[in-house]
A and B are shown apart, each in its own frame.
Chain A
Amino acid sequence: GAGVSQSPRYKVAKRGQDVALRCDPISGHVSLFWYQQALGQGPEFLTYFQNEAQLDKSGLPSDRFFAERPEGSVSTLKIQRTQQEDSAVYLCASSLAGVGYNEQFFGPGTRLTVL
Chain B
Amino acid sequence: SQKIEQNSEALNIQEGKTATLTCNYTNYSPAYLQWYRQDPGRGPVFLLLIRENEKEKRKERLKVTFDTTLKQSLFHITASQPADSATYLCALEDAGNNRKLIWGLGTSLAVNP
Contact = CB atoms under 8 A, between A and B. Distances in A.
B90 to A, nearest CB: 9
Given A55-B98, A99-B100, A103-B34, A40 B43 contact: no
A108 B98 contact: no
Interface of A: 4, 40-45, 48, 55-56, 58-59, 91, 93, 99-101, 103-109
B101 A45 contact: yes
Given A41-B106, A59-B100, A99-B100, 7 more contacts: A42-B89, A42-B104, A42-B105, A43-B89, A99-B98, A101-B31, A109-B43
12 contacts: A41-B105, A42-B103, A55-B98, A58-B97, A99-B99, A100-B93, A100-B99, A101-B32, A103-B46, A105-B46, A106-B45, A108-B43
A93 B45 CA distance: 10
Contacts of B59: none
Contacts, number: 56
Contacts of B101: 45, 104
A43 B103 contact: yes
B100 A103 contact: no
Given A45-B100, A99-B100, A101-B32, A106 B43 contact: yes
B100 A107 contact: no
B100 A44 contact: no
Q: Is the interface of B mostly helix, strand, loop or mixed?
A: strand
Nearest to B97: A58
Contacts of A91: 43-44
Contacts of B51: 101
Contact of B44 (A43, A44, A100): A43
Interface residues on B, range: 20 to 34
B106 A42 contact: yes
Contacts of A43: 44, 89, 103
Contact of A56 (B45, B93, B98): B98
Interface string B39-59: 001111110010100000000
